[in-house]
Amino acid sequence: MDTFVTIVQLAIAAAVINNFVLHYFVGICSFLGVSRRIDMALGMGLAVTFVMAIAGLLSWVFTYYLLRPFAPLPAWVWHMVGGDPGVTIDLSVLSYILYIFVIAASVQFVEMYIRKFFPGLYKAFGIYLPLITTNCAILFACLEIMKQLQDPTRLWGLGEALTLSIFGGLGYTLAIVLMAGIREEMDRCDVPRSLRGPGISLIVAGILAMAFMGFAGVDRAIETTFTVLMKK
């Protein structure tokens, strides 16, 4: 039950409270680039969610077994070559290059898959699908997972890592679809000429981000609610 509460808290925190786009301001380029129409935005959001889930899964595996301090594989190799047990081999310098590698490979894979089985979606994405490779929201998810694997006493499991990446992706989808809805309505508005295009989009994004600040503290409320429920 305790794990369940933690997962729910983590999911809501990743999707809404600490929304990747509107709280951490990562993934802004695709957030502004593909938020013109709702259907495109939804497709982009789901593709990012999918890639983020794969990248989160792989990065947890690699970080857990290879990159974190006291990771099993380097320790085993160190033991096999007969090194001093007091020294640890830390491969965390590889984190960035490894995550980028993992993300690029999974984007390539997703692109081939979508091209084969969803040609319409592939056509609609155009250049934005390969650009997911450089979507910083995904690298951010990987780095968040790595951050949680630094302290050997409080390690994240695969479940937590997957929750963060999937619900982080869903939060990105939520943000970009909201933005697309607003921008579709805004096409019919008489925007002052000096603000047309990127100007008004950034203002809208800022107001949206401020609105999302209102979710702060919801996770604590959920914890309290669950505690009360369990007591009953």
Q: Which residues bind other proteins (CB under 8 A)?
A: 66, 74, 77-78, 81, 83-84, 87, 89-91, 93-94, 97-98, 101, 105, 108-109, 112-113, 115-117, 119, 123, 190, 192-193
DSSP result, 199-217: HHHHHHHHHHHHHHGGGTT
Question: Would you say 66 or 162 has its CB closer to other proteins?
Answer: 66
Q: In the complex, what is the shortest distance from the CB of residue 117 to other proteins, in angstroms, rounded to a whole number?
A: 8
CB of 126 to other proteins, least distance (A): 9
- The radius of gyration of the chain from alpha carbons, rounded to an integer in Å, stands at 20
| Identity of residue 139 | L
Q: How far is the CB of 82 from other proteins (least distance, A)?
A: 10
If the CB atoms of residues 39 and 221 are measured against other proteins, the closer one turns out to be 39
Minimal distance, residue 34 CB to other proteins, in Å: 17
Cβ distance to other proteins smaller for residue 2 or 84:
84
> Of 94 and 204, which has the nearer Cβ to other proteins?
94
Q: How far is the CB of 86 from other proteins (least distance, A)?
A: 10
Query: Which of 61/213 has CB closer to other proteins?
Result: 61
Residue 198 three-state SS:
helix
Contacts of residue 181, defined as CB under 8 A and 6 or more positions apart, other chains included, come to: 38
Burial class of residue 66, CB neighbours in 10 A (0-12, 13-18, 19+): middle
What are the DSSP calls for 69-134, one per residue? TT-HHHHHHHHHTT--TT-----GGGHHHHHHHHHHHHHHHHHHHHHHH-HHHHHHHTTHHHHGGG
Q: How far apart are CA 232 and CA 225, in angstroms?
A: 11
